[in-house]
Amino acid sequence: MRKQRAVIVSKKLEILLPDAKCSLIYSNPLQLLIATILSAQCTDRIVNKVTEKVFKKYKNIGDYLNAEQKEFEADIKSTGLYRAKARNILASARIIKEKYNDAVPKTMNELLTLSGVARKTANIVMGNAYGIIDGIAVDTHVRRLSQKFGLTTNNNPVKIEQDLMKLIPKNDWLNFSHRMIEYGRVYSPANKKNDNSDPISKALGRLN
């Protein structure tokens, strides 16, 4: 039944949102890494507004290495959780400099050594910056909708990702994540958690 649900969800997503993509604005892997860290519990719209200024001020890894913690906190404050985010970004810059020769790494294991980086961020960076597909990025939209559509009963993002990877073909993992995130914004926002009038919920309802 789960596999059947996954097929319906994937087909509907492809029809409704064929061109969904990462909505964070970036021009290189380092910018995407920073934007993704900033996006935790913050909308991409706000992140893009903040990074428009941040990326002009901090142009390369050296600029982050020389950044003052308090000043950088002020630069990213409107994204929320700014102290922890600033600490993680500046610590990650040091790790990238010391361990990875100034380049954001391309593998899951290496990305997970960066400060504040879990599988979601690593999947986003690998998939969008490098075209390397290792898993499915599970953000709040993907987690919520995967539960709503009966694709998982787990609440832990890592376990949800494992469930989804069994249901979704690997060549669709990146698109599936983008489309689920966009679907959550457009058709089924968090404030409509118990509302099943969205297109996918209606399609799945015919299974019951």
Q: Is 159 a residue of the active site?
A: no
Instruction: Extract the tokens encoding 186.
Output: 């457009």
Q: Is 11 a residue of the active site?
A: no
| Residue 203 near residue 7, CB atoms below 8 Å | no
The residue annotated as part of the active site, out of 44, 75, 139, 198, is: 139
The residue annotated as part of the active site, out of 12, 44, 85, 120, is: 120
List C-alpha distances in Å: 203 to 71, 74, 182: 50, 46, 18
The percent of the chain in helix, strand and coil, each rounded to the nearest 5, is: 65, 0, 35
**Catalytically active residues, by annotation:** 120, 139
